[in-house]
Structures are given as C-alpha cells and as structure tokens.
Structure 1
Amino acid sequence: MVSTTSLRTTCAALAFGLACAGLPALAGETEAKDIITAMSEYLGSQTTLSFDYESTVEVITTDAQKLSVTSSGSLAMERPDKLHVSRSGGFAQVAGVFDGKAFTVENLTTKNYAVFDAPGSVEQLVEKLRTDLGLVLPAADLLDADVASQIFAQAKDIKDLGSGVIAGTECDHIAFRADDLDWQLWVAQGVDPYPCRYQVTSRKVDGMPDYTLTVSNWGKGSAKADFAFKPSEGATKVEIKELAGVDEIAGIYVVKGN
C-alpha cells in the first residue's frame, strides 16, 4: 500500500519532471493531417472490420468528485449496412445488431429488447441513433467511411505529438481541438494504421471529464459475426424509449429524475 505522504511526493516529482522536460518538438500540422488521412483511407477501404474495446467514461458528481465508469465489448461491421456490437459493464450486458433495415438492441441483464427502424447504411444509423435517441455507439466517430473529412470539418490546432505505445503497439500520437472538445488519437504505425485509442475531453463541462476508448484484437472475428438478431431465451420486446440501462452511464451514476 502507498502512503498518502509518498503518493503526494511521487505526484509532485512527476509534475516537476514534466514541467522541466517540456513538450518535445512538434511536427507540423501537415504531417498530422497526413496521418489522419492515412488512417481514414485505411478504415474506409475495409469492407469488414472488427475489434474488441475497453471504454472509460468519466463522471463528475454533484460534489465535484471525478469517477470512472468502465466497460468492455466488441464490434464487427460489414459495409455498407451490417453491424454487431456488444458491451459489458458494471450494471448491464448489452448487445445490438443492425441488418440494414433496423437496429435491434437487447439489455441481456433485464432480458428486454427493442427494435429501432433505421433503413440505410451504418453511417446513417449512427447519426439517427444520436439525433433521435441520444444513443452513441462505441467508436461511432470512427465508423464513417471518410473519418478524415468529419475530423477536418471541426478540428483546429492539429498537432503531431510523436510516438506513443498502446498495448505494445507503437502509434503516432495526434491531438486536435474542436469548439468545446479536446481530442487525442493514437494511430498504429505500419501497414495497418488503425486507431489504437482515442480520448475526448469535454472542456466546457465542469471538471473536464474524459471519454477514452482503447482498441485491441484489430481485424479478428469479422467472419464470425452474426448480423441477424436472436433474442435471448425469455426476452421481452418493449418500445425503444422504454428500454432502460443500455447507455454506458447507468445505475448509481444516473441523477434521479433524469
């Protein structure tokens, strides 16, 4: 166990070291945009893709304490209109399937499921879920066939911060800003420039909470994905707006009355 005194000393030493070292020399915006473009073209060229993920959502309590809500899951996509996504968290296990006509999502913990009609592509589904239900899919910002155009439309102050290592994979570390968000993106170096991690900081929310998603097992398992929904035994169909507990923030983290 680390004592309070030693922990404070360690934090102070780290802060001093970072302040003295300063940031490394940064590559230009052009180099950073080239990395984002290469990632975007690589992602857009994949007719199928799959990965596992770990996500962390920071929550700021009413007494200004910062807490982390963690989940893990998997995602498989077949362009243009097939998607299978799952998530396991502390309050629920959730699975969703999109077949090009409807997105069906089940809370496997409560055994309730709902169908959301959304004919079209995966990109159209992502936007419709966001605007109609306020529901954001894991890694939704990276599922677009042209991620770069989405980023460049809102990004400013784009920086290449050099290399970083995520789970043993060397990555290019990119940072950029939008109006009220700070983004960091770690892109695998080499022939498969996939996103290893991205982090979004909400600058205008008190406490500046982060959302972080880390990718693993890139490209494995696409062929095994089932894009036809099969409800679990005993599951009950409900209306989509009655389906509770499918968001990453649930349970004790939801303010009563919201």
Structure 2
Amino acid sequence: MSQAATIRTAIGAVGTALLLTAISPACADDPAKILKSMADYLASQKSLSASFDSDIEIITPELQKIQFASSGQFKLSRPDKLRVRRTGGYADVELVYDGKTVSLYGNDAKSYMQAAAPDTVDKVIDTLQASSGAAMPGTDLLLSNAYEELVQTATEGKHIGHGVVDGVECEHLAFRTADTDWQIWIEIGASPVPRKYVITSKTLTGAPQYTLRIKDWKTDAFADPDTFVFKVPAGATKVTLDSAAMIEFDELPPGTPSGAKK
C-alpha cells in the first residue's frame, strides 16, 4: 500500500484535473462521481467494521508468479480509534490505536511495539507507512480524504460496467496512473462500500497484483468499551518500532521481493 500512496503524493493534485477532463461529468456512470460517493459515504460513518481477504503477488528471479494470501478484520471509530487484525502464512498481527498510543502485536513473533501516536486515524496511517512500511491493506479507502488520495495521480478513469463480488452487485471502475493500474468494485445502492480492490504494478516484470476483497460491512457503534484497548499478551516481549522489527509483521516471508503492495 505504501508504494502507491507515495507515488500519488509525489505527483500531487494535477491527476485529479486530468481524470475529470478525461470523462464527462454529466454522465450517470461517471467513474469519479461513483468513486466520490463511496469515499463520502465511508467518511460520513463514525463507526465502521468489516472483514477482508488479501492476496499479494511476487515475481521470483526465475519469473515465476507466487501469490501469498491473508485474511483479517478491522474496526474503526472516527476520528481516533482503529483496530486491525491480519492472519497469513507468515504473520499473525494486530494493530490497536486508542487515540494516544499505537500498539502492534505479532503473535508469531511473540513481541509487540508501542509508540505515541498522532491524534487521528488518518495521521496514524500516514505515520506508520512512512516510518515502517507496515503492510496495511486498503487503509487508503478509510481515510477521510480518500477520494483526493485515490485520484490525485490518476490520468484516466473508466466505468467498466457492473460486476458481482461475493453475491453483491457492484459498479466496476478502472483507473490508471503512470506506475500502477487499479480497479475497484463498489456496491450499488444506499451503502456504496468497496467490495474488491486490485492494484497492478506496471513498472515490475510480470505486473504483480495486490487484491483485496472486503465483506461483512457494518456501521454499528461498538458496545464493548475495550474494543480499542490493547492488553499485552502474557509472555510477549516489547521491541523497538523500526523497519528491521517490522519484518515480523509483513505479509511476505523475510527476503521476498515486494510486488504490488500498497
């Protein structure tokens, strides 16, 4: 995720203008309009939760494409609470942000990290990705300014048509940037939530992809007061929040070349 976010930030808001001039703003199937309705809907929800399945591809030196799969859940309470759990073949990790402190726990590593955190979820996501490169699949969709972040480097946007993801009918959109192509499937109806998100790296041999499927969306308030409280597991060791320690928290085995990670 951090790769595409860095690219978008470097190019800036010029891409938004290019995208909007590449399509007709009057069209009912305007991809920018559909994407903005999704972003506005998510940003307007004080509480959000969902589960997800993610696949990240890598290309080996022998040009073999290998895919690694993970699953997880997230819970968000705006503006300053977040909990994410992800389990895969090489990591079982949990992130908890309580408005003051961010904690990361690795069940396989039996270690955790803690640091003082900024005062919003948006700032925490930006800080974590900038300082550690932590894999946080699809968190750009949860930002309060998700629309601006998503389209600011886009040079082209298309409404492909309709698709069905996990039995749910969706609008299928496709966008292009200089370095990545990305697609998103957005539920049709009163709750335009993202159901599938695919990022393709165009600058890497074999065009590896990152695929995210999101389901079980809920907007109910969290009744449990401990939802965003981190409790240190018995026997866990505290480690420093740095890039070396973050290897234990990655979706890929140590030493694996990265693919289309965002």
| TM-score, normalising length: structure 1 | 0.84
> Is 2:65 the counterpart of 1:66?
yes
* Identical amino acids, percent of aligned pairs: 36
Match of 1:113 in 2: 112
Match of 1:127 in 2: 126
Matches within 5 A, 1:2-17: none
Match of 1:249 in 2: 252
> Aligned letter for 1:93?
D
Matches within 5 A, 1:9-158: 28-30=23-25, 31-158=30-157
Matches within 5 A, 1:181-192: 181-192=180-191
- Quick check: 1:55–1:211 contact (8 Å CA) kept in 2? yes
Match of 1:227 in 2: 228
Uncovered stretches (5+) of structure 1, i.e. residues with no partner: 1-27
- Structure 1 distance, partners of 2:89, 2:233, is 20
Q: Which moved more, 1:116-125 or 1:46-55?
A: 116-125
Task: Check 1:33–1:220 CA distance in 2 against 1; reply closer, same or farther (3 A cut).
Answer: closer
1:212-244 C-alpha deviation (Å, 9 max, x unpaired): 110010116761571111121111111112354
Task: Check 1:77–1:149 CA distance in 2 against 1; reply closer, same or farther (3 A cut).
Answer: same
Give SS of 1:218's match. strand
> Aligned letter for 1:245?
E
> Is 2:213 the counterpart of 1:214?
yes
Superposed CA RMSD: 1.9
> Aligned letter for 1:80?
P
- Structure 1 distance, partners of 2:78, 2:152, is 23
Give SS of 2:140's match. helix
Greater Rg by CA: 1
Q: Which has the higher contact order (CA 8 A, sep 6+)?
A: 2
| TM-score, normalising length: structure 2 | 0.83
Q: How many residues align?
A: 229
